[in-house]
Structure 1
Amino acid sequence: MYAPIAILIIICAYVVYRISSSARQSRLEAAEASAKGCEPPTWFQHGWLFGLDFMYNILRADVAGRAPAYLKECFDTSDNQAKTIRFAQGPSDGFVTCDPENIKALLLTQFSDYGLGYLRIAQFGPAFGSGVFTQDGKAWEHSRALLRPQFNREQILNLETAETNIQNLMKHLDVELATGWTQEIDLQRLIVNLTLDGATEFLFGESVDAQLTALQDRNHGQTSNRPLGKDQLHSHAALARLFGQNFDNMMRGVGYRTRMLDMYWLYDTPSFRRSIRGVHQFADHYVQLALSNQKPTLDTGSLGDGSEESSSRYTFLTALAAETQDPVVLRSQLLNILLAGRDTTAGLIGYIFHILSLPRNEQWYRWLRAAIIRDFGPYQQSPGQGQSYRPISTASLRTCPELLAIIHETLRLYPPVPINSRLPLHASATLPRGGGPDGQSPVFLRKGENCDYSVYIMQRRKDIWGPDAEIFNPERWLDRQDGSWKTAIGSGIDDGRFLPFNAGPRICMGMNYAITQTSVVVVRLLQRFEALERCVEREVEDGKFSGVEPEERWRKLRSYLGTGNGKRGIDDVVAINDAEEKENPRTGQGITWGRMKYGVVIMPERLWVKFREA
C-alpha cells in the first residue's frame, strides 16, 4: 500500500531537485555571462514547440536542394538582420552565426575552447568511425600528426594519374562531326566518377575505374544501377559500381543525421546500414593487403608481381600503414579522407561548370579559355597519336591568375561545406559578437551548447562583399591595375571573410589536392572545347531530379510565361523557379534546376550540358 506512495514521493523529489538544480545553474550562468559583458542574442521566431518548425523546414529545404539557401533566408528575415541567431533545436537550444569575427573565434583565436563534441561522432561514427573529422582533443591531435606528413609532400597529386583520369572522362564526350558538338551528358555524374577514381587510386593504390565501368555500361546499353547476380559480385566492375552507390547512400544518410541534430538516432535505416557494410568491406580489403605488404589487384583478388615500378608509386594507405597497423584506425582515416578527396573536389569542379554553362556567364567561359590557351597552349590532335597537350606542372597551374580567380569565386559562392558546427567542450565559452540590440556585445554559450557557422552565408553578405555579393564576378580576385592575382589583405583570403576550407588548426589538409585536381580538369576541358551549353530540357524533364512529373513542370513553365507549347531556354526556367520560390521560400518548391546535392558536402545534383569542340 505504501510502495506507490513512496515511488510518487521519490519521483516528485527528483523533479523538484532537477528544477531547482536547473534554476541554480541558470543563475550561475547568468552571473557568469554578465561578468563577461555578454548580452542575449536575437532569437529566431519559432511557430512550433521546441523549434520543430525550423527542423521540419530545414529538412524540406534539404529535399528541395536548398538547405543553405533556406538558412540564409532565416538570417535575411530575422530581427535587425542579425548575424548570430539563437534557435530552439529540439530538446536543446543552439546558435547559428555568419559573423566572420565569431567564425574566426571558433576556428582560430578561441580554438581550444571549442570542439566537434559528442554529436559529430554520434552522427558520423557508424559510417566513418573515429577519424580526423570526428575526433577532438588528444585523439584528434594524434590523427592530425599521423596524416599531416602525407599532405605535406611537394606534389600531392600525381599529375600522370590525373591525366589518365581526364582522358577516361574524354571518352564519354563523343563529338558529332557534322556539328562539332558532343552529345548531351550529365557532366556531374562523370565528374563524381573521375574524382572517385582519383581518390581511390591515391588512397588505396588502385582506382575503382568508375569511369570505365560507366563507359562499358553505356556502350552495352546497360545501367550502373542494375541489380547484380551472385556470379558478378566479385568482379572488378561490380566492386566499383557497388562502392560508388554504397558511398553515395552512406553520405546521404549521414547528411540526414546531421540535420536532425540531437534526434539523429531517428535515421538508422536498413539501407543505410547495408551501405555502411559495403563501404567498410571494400576499404578493409585494401587495409589487409597493405598490412600484409601485398599489391592489390581488384579484378581477381590475386596478388601483384611486386615489381619495382608498382611498389615505388606513392600510396596514402601504404604510407599510413608504416605508422600504424591497427586495421580499424586505417579504415577510419581512409574513409575520413575519402569524404574530402571525392566530394569536395567533385563539388568544386561541378559548380565551376554549373556557373560557366549559364547563358549570362558565357563571357566568363571565353575569358577563362583565352587565358588557358595563352598559358597552356591549345588542344592538339595528331594523326595516329590521339590527344596531345603541352605538359603542365603544379607550379604552372598556380601562375594563371584567371584560373585561380574562377576557382576562388566559385569557392566563395559554393564553399564545399556550407554549414559546420562547434561547441564548448570543457566549460562555458563566449563569442565576440551577436549579443544586445546592436549585435555588438559578446554572446554566452553554455558547455555543450551547439553553434553552427555558415561560410556559405558569410561569403554572400552584401555588407562584406559589396552589392554584387551574390553575382559571379571572378575579377574581384584580380588587381584592377594589371590583372595580376590579388593576395593582399582585403582580398578576402587574409581577413577572415573567405574560408571555404576552414581556418586554424583544423584547416583542410587536402585543399591543395582539391584545387590542383580541379585546375587540371578545367584546363584540359577548356583546351579542347571552345563553347559550353546547358541542356535545360534534360534537366527539367528528369523526373527523378525534382520529384515533379515532366509534363507538370512544363505546364507550370508555360502557364507562367504565357501561351505557347514550345520549350523554353534556361533563363525561362530560372524565371519560373525564382517566382515560385518567392511564393514559398521556406520549402523551395518549384522547378529547382541545378539544385544542391547536400549530404555533408554540396555539389550540383545534375549538370546536363554539351560542349563544342575547337
Structure 2
Amino acid sequence: MGIFSVDGVSWSHSRALLRPSFDRANVSDLGQLEGFMQIFFSRINELPRQPLTHTRAVELQELFQCLTMDSSTDFLFGDPIGALASKKYTLGNGEMAFDKAFDIAQYGLAMRAPLSSFYWLYNGREFRKACSTARAQVAIYVSRALRKLNLAEKKSGEEGLGKKYVFLEELAERTQDPQVLQDQVLNVMLAGRDTTAALLSWTFLCLARNPEVYKKLRAEISAVVGVDEDARLPTQAELRSIQYLRWIIQEVLRLYPPVALNARRALHATTLPYGGGPDGNSPISIRKGERIVYSVFSLHRRTDLYGPDANEFRPERWGEEALRRIGWGWLPFNGGPRICLGQQMALTHASYFVTRMMQVYKEITPKDFALADDSYDTKLVMASGRGVHVFLF
C-alpha cells in the first residue's frame, strides 16, 4: 500500500519515508534529461517532411508519454526502459510488456476510484494480470537495489562523489522491505509519469493555438540560452530566470490541471464555510467519515478568481497584481500537508523539455481539428482526448 492509497498513520509513515528521497534528489542535474531529448528529436526526425513546407506532422502526446516513461524510470530505477527507442518495451521477462501492463492497471484504478468502498467490483482478469505483471517487473529492480545496498555496506568508504542519484537506492537505505519498496515506487511512478506528459502535451497544444505566445517565449529563451545554432543547454538557474516560461506553465496547469478531481474524507464532524443554501453562501455540514469530492478544474476557471476571461489561455495574467496572492485558488499540486512531494522536480523537467523544444523548432502549428474545442481523456490524469497533432518547422 503506497502513499496514495492510505490515510492516517500509514500515510504519515509513507510521507516521512519518501520525503528525504525527494529532498536529496538532484533535480538540477539536467545532463541525463538531454540524453532523452536527443532520442526524442531523433524520433521526430525519422518522420517524413511535408512537401513544400518542410514541416513534420507529429503526434506529440504519445511521444511525451514515452519521454516521461524513460525519464521517470531512469530517476526511479537508475535505468530507462527504452520507451522512446522502441514501441514495445519491458522491465523484465513478463508475458505482458510493462507499458501495456502499467496503462491497463492505471485504467483499472481510474474505474475503481468512483466506486469508493465498492472498488472491488472492478476486478477483471486483465486488470489483475496487469497489476501482477507490473509488480513482478518492478520487483526485479527492487531486488537489484537491495543487492547493491548490501554490497555497498560491505565496502567501507565507497561513496563515490560522482555516484548517480537513484530514487529506489536512496529509499532502500531507509527500508529493506521489498513489498514497501515496490508499493512506494509504483505510487511515485503513477503520480509522475502521466502528469508530466499531460502538462507537456497541453502546453504544446496551447502554444500551437497561440503563435504570438510561442514567438514571445522563443524570443525570451533566445535571450537567455540561445536558439538554433546558437543554442546551449540551459542550467536550472537559467530555466528559473525565464519568467514567461513560468507564466505559461502556470497557465497551462490552471486550465488543464493533470489531476482534475480530488477527494478528502472528514476525520471529524465539521463544516465547510460556504457553498450551501439557496445562494451558495451558507455553511455546509459535513459528517464524520463523509467523502468530499472537489473539482480543481472548475476552481481554476472561476471568474471571481481569474476574471471574465478565466476560460482563456492568457499567460500574462500571472504578472498581474490580482494573482500575486491567489493561494488556494491554484491547486495543480494540491496544498497543505499533502502537497505534491515531486512538484519542484516536475516543474524542472517540464521547463527543460519545453525549452529544448523551443530552441530547436522555429514554429509549431496545429492540424485543423486541434483548433476545435478541447476534448478530454479523463482517467487518473486529464489528457487531451484527440492527442496533440501538430506541424513542427
Q: TM-score, normalised by structure 2?
A: 0.90
Task: State which of 384, 390, 393 in structure 2 corresponds to 1:609.
Answer: 390
1:495-552 superposed Cα distances (whole Å, 9 cap, x missing partner): 321111001010001011111111111111111111112234xxxxxxxxxxxxxxxx
Shift of 1:450: 1.1
Structure 1 segments unaligned to the other structure (5+ residues): 1-129, 215-223, 226-231, 296-306, 381-387, 480-487, 537-568, 579-593
Shift of 1:464: 1.7
2:10: which partner in 1? 139
Q: How does 1:50-89 map to 2 (within 5 A)?
A: none
Query: In the alignment, is residue 152 of structure 1 matched against residue 23 of structure 2?
Result: yes
Q: Do the aligned partners of 1:157 and 1:517 also contact (CA within 8 Å) in 2?
A: no
Partner letter of residue 532 of structure 1? I
1:411: which partner in 2? 253
Match of 2:185, SS? helix
Partner letter of residue 357 of structure 1? A
Q: In the aligned structure 2, how far is the partner of 1:294 from the partner of 1:504? A: 34
Q: How does 1:106-121 map to 2 (within 5 A)?
A: none
1:336: which partner in 2? 187
Q: Do the aligned partners of 1:368 and 1:403 also contact (CA within 8 Å) in 2?
A: yes
1:97: which partner in 2? none
Q: Do the aligned partners of 1:419 and 1:456 also contact (CA within 8 Å) in 2?
A: yes
Q: Do the aligned partners of 1:416 and 1:500 also contact (CA within 8 Å) in 2?
A: yes
Shift of 1:154: 6.9
1:243-295 superposed Cα distances (whole Å, 9 cap, x missing partner): 11111111111111112334433211111111101110111110111111179
Partner letter of residue 508 of structure 1? C
1:319: which partner in 2? 170
Match of 1:390, SS? coil
Match of 1:452, SS? strand
2:58: which partner in 1? 185
Q: Do the aligned partners of 2:39 and 2:84 also contact (CA within 8 Å) in 1?
A: yes
Q: In the aligned structure 2, how far is the partner of 1:319 from the partner of 1:505? A: 23
Q: In the aligned structure 2, how far is the partner of 1:428 from the partner of 1:519? A: 42
Task: State which of 233, 237, 241 in structure 2 corresponds to 1:395.
Answer: 237
**1:528/1:400 CA distance change after superposition, 3 Å:** same
Partner letter of residue 273 of structure 1? R
Match of 1:469, SS? coil
Task: State which of 203, 208, 222 in structure 2 corresponds to 1:357.
Answer: 208
1:465: which partner in 2? 306
Q: Do the aligned partners of 1:421 and 1:450 also contact (CA within 8 Å) in 2?
A: yes
Task: State which of 21, 25, 36 in structure 2 corresponds to 1:165.
Answer: 36
Structure 1, 432-441 or 331-340: larger mean CA deviation: 432-441
Structure 2 segments unaligned to the other structure (5+ residues): 151-157
Query: In the alignment, is residue 441 of structure 1 matched against residue 282 of structure 2?
Result: yes
**1:134/1:159 CA distance change after superposition, 3 Å:** same
2:112: which partner in 1? 257
2:332: which partner in 1? 500
Query: In the alignment, is residue 452 of structure 1 matched against residue 233 of structure 2?
Result: no
Q: In the aligned structure 2, how far is the partner of 1:194 from the partner of 1:529? A: 18
Match of 1:422, SS? strand
Q: In the aligned structure 2, how far is the partner of 1:234 from the partner of 1:277? A: 13
1:596: which partner in 2? 376
Q: In the aligned structure 2, how far is the partner of 1:181 from the partner of 1:144? A: 50
RMSD over aligned Cα atoms = 2.5
**1:139/1:493 CA distance change after superposition, 3 Å:** farther
1:81: which partner in 2? none
1:30-84 superposed Cα distances (whole Å, 9 cap, x missing partner): xxxxxxxxxxxxxxxxxxxxxxxxxxxxxxxxxxxxxxxxxxxxxxxxxxxxxxx
Give the share of equivalent positions with the same residue, in percent: 38
1:298-335 superposed Cα distances (whole Å, 9 cap, x missing partner): xxxxxxxxx98798111000010000001110011101
Q: Do the aligned partners of 1:155 and 1:394 also contact (CA within 8 Å) in 2?
A: no
**1:525/1:181 CA distance change after superposition, 3 Å:** farther
Q: In the aligned structure 2, how far is the partner of 1:413 from the partner of 1:510? A: 20
Shift of 1:157: 5.2
Match of 2:4, SS? coil
Q: In the aligned structure 1, how far is the partner of 2:28 from the partner of 2:379? A: 25
Q: In the aligned structure 2, how far is the partner of 1:210 from the partner of 1:596? A: 24
Task: State which of 128, 132, 135 in structure 2 corresponds to 1:280.
Answer: 135
Q: TM-score, normalised by structure 1?
A: 0.59
Task: State which of 198, 215, 218 in structure 1 corresponds to 2:71.
Answer: 198
Shift of 1:607: 1.4
Structure 1, 393-402 or 428-437: larger mean CA deviation: 428-437
2:145: which partner in 1? 290
Q: In the aligned structure 1, how far is the partner of 2:275 from the partner of 2:345? A: 36
Partner letter of residue 330 of structure 1? L
Shift of 1:413: 0.2
Q: In the aligned structure 1, how far is the partner of 2:347 from the partner of 2:92? A: 34
Shift of 1:233: 9.7
Q: How does 1:122-137 map to 2 (within 5 A)?
A: 130-137=1-8
